[in-house]
Amino acid sequence: MAVQLEVSFICLYENQPSFDEVDMWMRSIGFAPHRFFDIKSWSISPTTRGNDFRQPFNQLLESDIVYVKDLLNIKNHSSVQLKMLAIISEVSFDSPDLAIRCLWELMSRTTLDARVISQFTVART
Amino acid sequence: MNLIERVQLSDPINIADIGVASINETPAYSDLVIGEYGHLFAFDGDSRQIPALQKLYGEHATFLNHFLADGAQHTAYICREDTAITSLFKPHQSALAFFNNFSSFGKVVKQQRIQTARLDVIDEIGDLHFI
């Protein structure tokens, strides 16, 4: 249901797929981007910031990006999958809005008490 | 409120981390695994990384010493252990040289012909929910 990938803005390997190639492929198989994690920059040789090569200026290097299957059509997921996606969204992605969208779908199937959504919404938004 | 307890999940969340040694930060799935709501299948073809990973995740994870790809033989480009740059892709030296210090990070110390495995035919894992 969810895939977190490391994508490169500047490819450091020969024949490595670039970010745009990865993004197009993920979309082609039904995944949509949800969030970035840890967008990394690195300083361009030979200039360093304060003699520390690990302190970047602005040059993008790589990032992790999360894709979600059928993000705009979560009705396609089973109830078990929706519960898992809600939990992953809350615990791993810090995305209460995505979790609540999953909970709403579960409620429409009468597999979740509406009070869970209201309590979670109050606690997390 | 604890969402995990309120939604009453009956099955564990199966998580796969492919190239687990390449993550320097705390992985996004860490709380799921440590909280015993998910099980981690940790893949890394670089066996030097496994003892440290076993110490970190213990019984909450299954470690699989595979290079995942298309199931064919490929060349692995082994780089310094502390850089996690070892890959089936060959480091691009001119791209590495664009950045400070990357030429040394991406120096290939050994090339090794290895057998890769396909993720969809590995018996130890079932359905995966978060990769």
Which pLDDT tens digit goes with each residue over A65-114? 999 999 999 999 999 999 999 999 999 999 999 999 999 999 999 888 99
Q: Identify whether B24 is part of a domain.
A: yes
Tell me what the mean pLDDT of segment A31-52 comes to. 96
| Interchain pair B85, A12: CB under 8 A | yes
Report the C-alpha gap between B92 and A15 in whole angstroms: 9
Q: Identify whether B51 is part of a domain.
A: yes
In chain B, the number of structural domains is 1
Q: Identify whether B107 is part of a domain.
A: yes
Residue B46 has pLDDT above 80, yes or no: no
Angle between helices A114-124 and A96-108 (to 10 degrees): 170
Domain extent, residue B8, equals: 3-121
The C-alpha of B51 sits at a distance from chain A's nearest C-alpha, in angstroms, of: 24
ipTM: 0.93
Report the C-alpha gap between B121 and B128 in whole angstroms: 13
User: Which member of A43, A59, A119 has the closest CB to residue B1?
Assistant: A119
| Interchain pair A84, B129: CB under 8 A | yes
pTM as predicted: 0.92
Residue B72 has pLDDT above 80, yes or no: yes
Q: Which residues, 6+ apart, have CB-to-CB distance to B47 below 8 Å? A: B65
Q: Which residues, 6+ apart, have CB-to-CB distance to B82 below 8 Å? A: none
How far, in whole angstroms, is CA A83 from its chain's centroid? 17
Task: Indicate the domain borders of chain A.
Answer: 1-71, 73-125
**DSSP summary character for residue A42:** -
Q: Identify whether B130 is part of a domain.
A: no
pLDDT at B58: 80
List, as one string, the DSSP characters of B59-128: GGEEEE--EESSSSEEEEEEE-GGGT--BSSPB-HHHHHTBTTHHHHT-EEEEEEEEEE-GGG-TT----
Sign of CA dihedral B33, B35, B38, B39: positive
Element (H, E) at B14: strand B13-18
Tell me what the mean pLDDT of segment A43-51 comes to. 96
The C-alpha of A88 sits at a distance from chain B's nearest C-alpha, in angstroms, of: 8
How far, in whole angstroms, is CA B25 from its chain's centroid? 13
Confidence of residue B96 (pLDDT cuts 50, 70, 90): very high
pLDDT at B25: 73
Confidence of residue B55 (pLDDT cuts 50, 70, 90): confident
Q: Identify whether B129 is part of a domain.
A: no
Q: What percent of chain B has pLDDT over 90?
A: 45
Q: What percent of chain A has pLDDT over 70?
A: 100
- Chain B residues in contact with A42 (beta carbon < 8 A): 99-100, 102
Residue B47 has pLDDT above 80, yes or no: no
Q: Identify whether B131 is part of a domain.
A: no
pLDDT at A56: 97
Tell me what the mean pLDDT of segment B32-61 comes to. 83
pLDDT at B20: 78
pLDDT at B53: 74
